[in-house]
Amino acid sequence: MEGTRAKARDYIKRMHYSFRFLIAVFAVWRLTHLLAKEDGPSETLRALRQVLSHGVLGTMFGCFYCLSVWVALPFAWFVGGSWIEIVAVWWALSGAAILLERVTREPADITITEEDHGVLWRSGSRTADD
């Protein structure tokens, strides 16, 4: 068993730094998305979010951005480096997961109606003179 662990550690050390970072980015995004947005097998993750919904953890599990910060922390150690590099990678992994979430989000459906008379955006509230 110890020999297998040593081989795994040696393989990870030989893996190129940028490849480890890329793997970690996708892993952080996937795990954060699973925990924050998906119901999971047999709706276990949905039930977990409901149980945690009344505290600080519930707020964290409901916010993809917040959750990605904490999910990224252990993956920063996987990428490795000095302690300052680990801190920088921690935030970079969270930021990359957030960017992936924004890119993969469903596009917004925008409808322009004729009653707006071609106005796409109006600041303030409408008055009777409008």
- Following DSSP, what letter does each residue of 83-94 receive, concatenated? HHHHHHHHHHHH
43 versus 67: the higher-pLDDT residue is 67
Across 8-22, 28-42, 66-80, the highest mean pLDDT is recorded for: 66-80
Indicate if the pLDDT at residue 51 is higher than 60.
Answer: yes
| Unique residue bearing structure tokens 């505290």 | 55
What CA–CA distances, in Å, run from 76 to 7, 15, 89?
Answer: 21, 15, 6
Residues with Cβ < 8 Å from 72, sequence gap 6 or more?
24, 28, 90, 91, 93, 94, 97
Q: Break the chain into its structural domains and give their ranges.
A: 2-116
Mean pLDDT for 94-123 is: 77
Q: In this structure, what token pair is assigned to residue 115?
A: 């009653």
